[in-house]
Amino acid sequence: MHAQSRFPNKLLPYILLSPSIVVIAVFFIIPTVKSIYQSFFRVSPFGDRRIFVGFDNFVRLFNSPAYVQSLLRTLIFATAVVLIGLSFCMIVAVLLNQRIRGMSVFRTFFIWTYAISPAIAGTIWALMFNPATGPVVYLVKLLSGKSINWMNDGRLALAIVIVAAVWKMLGYNVIFYLAGLQAIPTELLEAASIDGANGIKRFFRVTFPLLSPTTFFLLIMNMLYAFFEVFGLIDIMTKGGPGNATEVLVYKLYKDGFISIDIGFASAQSVVLFVFVTVLTILQFRYTQQKVFYG
């Protein structure tokens, strides 16, 4: 920030800030504090009676097999989304970064899933795996003779939800990897090339380490995405089913808060998510210089 004041106005900066600060106070800070507050109460479904229960909601939460399973499932889901998504996108971006004619056309095609919503990605993949007539189901039947049905196969359902979630993030990840690659000085790669490093060696010795800030940033963003942004995808594709096979934390929160209306219990879930996102954010600020992120 400019250390000295360029304009002597005393009141003006507060006026300029007030629109943002009012919105943040009313719609972010107060509701979050209330989430934390409510997590210590048992509230009747209509919200008219509340009893202070201390940490009881959290005890209930971590003693609930359904919640613990959902937590584990979310971790598996998020890990898969991050690992598959980032490795695939890094390779694609490295290929797209070659100085070859026609690359800009390829680039446009690879980044445009950025514009697709999780709900639409879910719809399209539900079509691909539609048990009766889906093309992937057809392909599997053609190759192996087996009929697959993810509507009654929990593991398959989770796998397909992962595929859809990764697919939706391709554009975002490729955009950031391309920007990261463009920041790598070509002299470095040329020097490595003169030293006799072939393409694969160059990738592992030069490109991969120099991309690590981007990778770390994308790791955080993809984790946040896998935890918070996939609600629409799950709601469209599986509604958490079959059984609870794809019920990730944010879906469980919605169900407990808006369908079963267990407010204290759902608030405790919000607080757990808050702790999680706080840890990720602290990591982000501590280990990267890059403080701007899109989301």
Partner 1 sequence: MKVYKRQKIQVYVVLSILLVVVMFPVYYAFVMATLSDKDSYSFPPKFLPSFHLIQNMREAWKSAKMGRLMFNSAFIAIVVALAKIVFSILAAFAFTYFGDFKGKYLFFSLILITHMLPLPVRLLPTYDLMKAFKWVNTYYALTVPFFASATGTLLFRQLFLTVPGSLADAARIDGAGPMRFLWHVLLPLSKTNMGALLLIEFNYIWNEYLWPLIITTTPEMRVVQIGIKMLLASEAQAADWNVIMAGTIMAMLPPLVMLLIFQKTFMEGFSMKEEK
Query: Considering beta carbons, is residue 3 or 52 the nearer one to partner 1?
Result: 3
Among the candidate windows 24-32, 49-57, 63-71, 153-161, which touches partner 1 by CB under 8 A? 24-32
Based on the shown chain and the rule CB under 8 A, indicate whether residue 31 belongs to the binding site for partner 1: yes
* Cα three-residue angle 236-239-242, rounded to 5 degrees: 125
Q: Are 66 and 252 in contact (CB under 8 A)?
A: yes
Site for partner 1 in 95-134 (CB under 8 A): 95-96, 98-100, 102, 106, 108-120, 123-128, 130, 132-134
Write down the least CB distance from residue 62 to partner 1, Å: 18
Tell me which residue of 77, 28, 36 sits closest to 251, measured CA to CA. Answer: 77
Residue selected from 28, 204, 208, 287 as contacting partner 1 according to rule CB under 8 A? 28
Based on the shown chain and the rule CB under 8 A, indicate whether residue 6 belongs to the binding site for partner 1: yes
Write down the least CB distance from residue 216 to partner 1, Å: 14
Tell me which residue of 125, 130, 137 sits closest to 163, measured CA to CA. Answer: 125
Q: Are 216 and 104 in contact (CB under 8 A)?
A: no
Q: Looking at residue 148, what DSSP letter applies?
A: P
Based on the shown chain and the rule CB under 8 A, indicate whether residue 5 belongs to the binding site for partner 1: yes
Query: Considering beta carbons, is residue 81 or 224 the nearer one to partner 1?
Result: 224
The total of other beta-carbon atoms located within 10 Å of residue 170's CB is: 20
Q: Which residues pair with 43 in a beta bridge?
A: 50
Between CA 24 and CA 52 the distance in angstroms is 28
Site for partner 1 in 189-218 (CB under 8 A): 189-190, 193, 199
- The dihedral region occupied by 239, where left means phi > 0, alpha psi between -120 and 50, and beta the remainder, is left
Between CA 113 and CA 146 the distance in angstroms is 31
Between CA 152 and CA 131 the distance in angstroms is 10
Write down the least CB distance from residue 73 to partner 1, Å: 16
Q: Considering CB under 8 A, how many residues would be counted as binding partner 1?
A: 105
Site for partner 1 in 57-76 (CB under 8 A): none
Site for partner 1 in 215-254 (CB under 8 A): 224, 228, 231-232, 235-236, 250, 253-254
Based on the shown chain and the rule CB under 8 A, indicate whether residue 25 belongs to the binding site for partner 1: yes
Site for partner 1 in 254-293 (CB under 8 A): 254, 257-258, 263, 266-267, 270-271, 273-274, 277-278, 281, 289-293
